[in-house]
Amino acid sequence: MAKRDQICLEARGLTKVFGFGRNRTVAVDHVDLTLYEGEVVSIVGESGSGKTTLAKILLGLINETEGEVYFQGKKRDIRSYRRKQEYWKNIQAIFQDPFSSYNIFNKIDTVLLDCIHMRGGRGLPHAQKVEMMAEACRFVNLKFEELTNKYPFELSGGQMQRLMIARIFLLKPKILVADEPTSMIDACSRATILDMLMQLRNEIGMTVIFITHDIGLAYYVSDTVYIMERGRFVESGSADKVILTPSHPYTKRLISDVPKIYEEWDLSTV
Amino acid sequence: MKHTLRQVFRSGKFLFGFSIFVGLLLIVIIYPLLVPDDPLRIIGQGTFFPPGIYVNTYDSVNAATKYTLNLPEADVRRIESRLKQEDRLAMREWLTAAGIPESEIDIEDTERLLTLWNNNFDPKKSIPGMTNARRNYFIRLNNALKGLATSGDLILASKQAESGTLEETGIIKDTDYVNVSEVANVRVLVLGTDNFGRDMLTELVTATRVSLQIGFVAGLIATLIGLTLGLLAGYVGGLVDDIIMFFTNLFTVIPGFVLLILISYSIGQEQRGAFTVATVIGFTSWVWTTRAVRAQVVSLRNRDHVNLSKLSGHSIPHIILHDILPYIASYVVMALILQISSGILAEAGLSILGLGPKTTEVPTLGLMMRWAMIYQAHIQGNWWAYLPVLVTIALITFSMNLMNTGLDQVFNPALRD
């Protein structure tokens, strides 16, 4: 297992402002985040609270307005596209909507081959590449023989998201940003995908930033939880501490919003 | 991809436009193979010969075999073809003045008109309100009509080289016929000739080809520039975007056609070949493609599939080629089709103003319109000099716009009716 005490990714005073003048929106407002190696961190908040923007800044897909990101102790330098490409070898993502995540003109083989090539496997013999792709597909309970020469849009949403996990399996990044990976998936596939994600994390020992609006899900998967409201972290700490003994009213509201199956509804008030 | 193509070819509008366009293309390609004439060769001495079959008189007189046909309607036909419209109108005028009910007079039916005239016309009859001069006119008309009706034999004579006397070589009766297939020189001028005496049809086909080429070159140049600038501005963004959009907005504000006129004028008549004009048109009409492509790219560049491509380690050129371009390809094809048709129209507009390609090398649709206009074909009623050209221009642009609408409906399902 990874060493829990070593800092993997650190954000100091991270701010993102969109627009200016009247349209000025502060999406992320002076956020501090510390990520230890091997842990699962959840960022929980409503839609529009800046979770996805924060994720994209951490991924280096959009530039921060202010603040610094430290990666493995050193200040992250992604000013040139080439540096970004280096950075992306260490950090990967799973996006919210599997239907728009794939290029509809690329076959599944291309998606997986790109990952092998990114890990320096360009010169490998074709048979070995096929074996690696098949292994990745087996890991997520897909059959590579059935997927080859197909397009991603021919799959179901759950299968697409599993294919996304297969990508991560091949890429073996240090950090994974999972941006609401299960919110577009039906409830049955949701558990499978979460289990696969956690199994993958245990296997390759990566750090996971799990972004969700579902605080129950965050409790289920994470070690540390950050509660985000309007671009700021209002509460953070270990999952047990934050969810079992919430101190901020926003956290309390989020927890009370989780539907409970065994809760008896008071129909007289309806 | 295959599925989309099938859908495109199932769209009625696209198919209709496509078949018109392919038909025009086939005519343009096949016709020169069948009629390998020089389209600019002057064959007619005189301007604007009407469409028809031209039979050589010399050859028909000297045809090997003569046939005698006794056709009862031959005389009437002969008079009919020589009786002018104004004479017919004058005949009606006299007849109505003489008290014949107008319903009985049909100036198109030559036989009845002549019988009516012969039965009723009386040079001595005085009609109230008619001047003496007018009466004399009708008497002259009557005599002319008699001249039309009498047809004697024609004597063929050839000049003796030594003595200079005429020697009779044959007689042509009014019942003599020749078979057109036996006449050595027959020329079918389907659309007559233009003001220079060129065969209109051959010229029109070549002009269509040249105009299409001009349109394609102009459209390709405009689309290439527009696509490159649009992709750069949209994807790279920032300062590059600002600079490109500054120039694009500048060119949007200046009317393209004015710019086109100025550039064409400054190039000079001698330097303006068809492809120079095409290039100039291309370089002045890239603006809208740039704006459209940029707008599409800006909305595409933050999509998840582009982000995923970045995370998969692809370079920016790879992303533009594989993740942006295929998504806007349909849009670019539509823009190209519109650019081609507007390129053809721009050439026609320029040529009508006298700023088109020089006239000595190739005909274009615009140049044909220009000459028809200068020689006042539209005032003289020489419809064959401009109407076919107009119809061709209209057909080309119509077919291209139909194709564009058809494609639009396939790729933007919200527009489907």
Report the candidate in A91, A239, A245 with the shortest Cα–Cα distance to residue A173.
Answer: A91
pLDDT in tens, B300-313: 988 899 999 999 88
Report the candidate in B374, B344, B345 with the shortest Cα–Cα distance to residue B359.
Answer: B374
Chain B touched by A106 (CB under 8 Å): yes
Measured CA to CA, the distance from residue B235 to residue B299 in angstroms comes to 10
Rounded to a whole number of angstroms, the distance between the first and last alpha carbons of chain B is 23
Rounded average pLDDT over B211-236: 94
pTM for the model stands at: 0.79
CA angle B333, B338, B339 (to 5 degrees): 95
Q: How confident is the model at residue A264 (pLDDT cuts 50, 70, 90)?
A: low
User: CA of B2: which chain A residue's CA is closest?
Assistant: A105
Question: How far is residue A231 CA from its own chain's centroid?
Answer: 18
Predicted confidence at residue B414, as pLDDT, reads 67
Average pLDDT, chain B: 88
Pair B344, B211: CB distance under 8 Å: yes
Residue type (1 letter), A176: L
Higher pLDDT, A270 or B32: B32
Query: In this predicted complex, what is the ipTM?
Result: 0.88
Measured CA to CA, the distance from residue B188 to residue B155 in angstroms comes to 29
Q: How confident is the model at residue A260 (pLDDT cuts 50, 70, 90)?
A: low
Chain B touched by A101 (CB under 8 Å): yes
pLDDT in tens, B246-289: 999 998 898 888 888 898 889 888 888 889 999 999 999 899 89
Q: Who among B307, B313, B326 is closest to A85 (CB)?
A: B313
Predicted confidence at residue A267, as pLDDT, reads 59
Three-class SS of residue A184?
coil
Q: Tell me what percent of the residues of chain B surpass a pLDDT of 70.
A: 98
Q: Among positive and negative, which fits the CA dihedral B160, B166, B168, B170?
A: positive
Q: How confident is the model at residue B31 (pLDDT cuts 50, 70, 90)?
A: very high
Rounded average pLDDT over B351-380: 89
Question: Which residues does chain A have within 8 Å of residue B314's beta carbon, measured at their own beta carbons?
Answer: 114
In this predicted structure, the answer to whether residue A270 has a pLDDT above a threshold of 70 is no
Predicted confidence at residue A240, as pLDDT, reads 84
Q: How confident is the model at residue A186 (pLDDT cuts 50, 70, 90)?
A: confident
CA B313 vs CA A148, B180, B232, B327, B384: distances in Å: 22, 78, 20, 20, 64
User: CA of B321: which chain A residue's CA is closest?
Assistant: A105
Interface with chain B: mutation pick from A87, A102, A105, A168, highest number of B CBs within 10 Å: A105
Measured CA to CA, the distance from residue B49 to residue B200 in angstroms comes to 10
Measured CA to CA, the distance from residue B317 to residue B324 in angstroms comes to 10
In this predicted structure, the answer to whether residue B150 has a pLDDT above a threshold of 70 is no
Number of H-type helices and E-type strands within chain B: 18, 6
Rounded average pLDDT over B114-142: 83
Predicted confidence at residue B341, as pLDDT, reads 93
Q: How confident is the model at residue A1 (pLDDT cuts 50, 70, 90)?
A: very low
Predicted confidence at residue B155, as pLDDT, reads 85
Interface with chain A: mutation pick from B304, B315, B320, highest number of A CBs within 10 Å: B304
Predicted confidence at residue B393, as pLDDT, reads 95
Contact state of A84 with B313 under an 8 Å Cβ cutoff: no
Locate CATH 1.10.3720.10 in chain B. Answer: 2-44+195-415
Q: Which residues of A19-33 are buried (b: 16+ CB within 10 A; e: fewer)?
A: eeeeeeebbbbebeb
Pair A238, A40: CB distance under 8 Å: no
Q: CA of B232, closest CA in chain A: separation in Å? A: 16
Pair B148, B79: CB distance under 8 Å: yes
pLDDT in tens, B318-355: 999 889 988 898 889 999 999 999 999 999 999 998 88
Question: Which residues does chain B have within 8 Å of residue A93's beta carbon, measured at their own beta carbons?
Answer: 307-308, 311
Predicted confidence at residue A261, as pLDDT, reads 58
Rounded average pLDDT over B94-98: 84
Measured CA to CA, the distance from residue B364 to residue B11 in angstroms comes to 32
Measured CA to CA, the distance from residue B188 to residue B171 in angstroms comes to 28
In this predicted structure, the answer to whether residue A109 has a pLDDT above a threshold of 80 is yes
Predicted confidence at residue B203, as pLDDT, reads 93
Edge-to-edge order in the sheet of strand A232-238: A91-94, A175-179, A207-212, A40-44, A224-229, A232-238
Predicted confidence at residue B226, as pLDDT, reads 94
Pair B302, B348: CB distance under 8 Å: no
pLDDT in tens, A199-241: 888 888 889 999 988 888 888 888 899 998 888 888 888 888 8
Residues 6+ apart with CB under 8 A from B56: B183, B184, B185, B186
Task: Burial-class residue A220 by CB neighbours within 10 Å (0-12, 13-18, 19+).
Answer: middle
**CATH topology (fold) of B2-44+195-415:** MetI-like fold (1.10.3720)
In this predicted structure, the answer to whether residue A52 has a pLDDT above a threshold of 60 is yes
Rounded average pLDDT over A261-268: 58
Chain B touched by A210 (CB under 8 Å): no
User: CA of B325: which chain A residue's CA is closest?
Assistant: A105
Contact state of A114 with B314 under an 8 Å Cβ cutoff: yes
* Other Cβ atoms within 10 Å of B273 Cβ, number: 14
**Domains in chain A, please, with CATH?**
7-90+173-258 (3.40.50.300)
Rounded average pLDDT over A49-63: 89
Q: How confident is the model at residue A254 (pLDDT cuts 50, 70, 90)?
A: confident
Chain B touched by A55 (CB under 8 Å): no
Pair B32, B199: CB distance under 8 Å: no
Higher pLDDT, A147 or B389: B389
Rounded to a whole number of angstroms, the distance between the first and last alpha carbons of chain A is 51
Q: Who among A81, A88, A97 is closest to B311 (CB)?
A: A88
In this predicted structure, the answer to whether residue A2 has a pLDDT above a threshold of 50 is no
Rounded average pLDDT over A170-183: 88
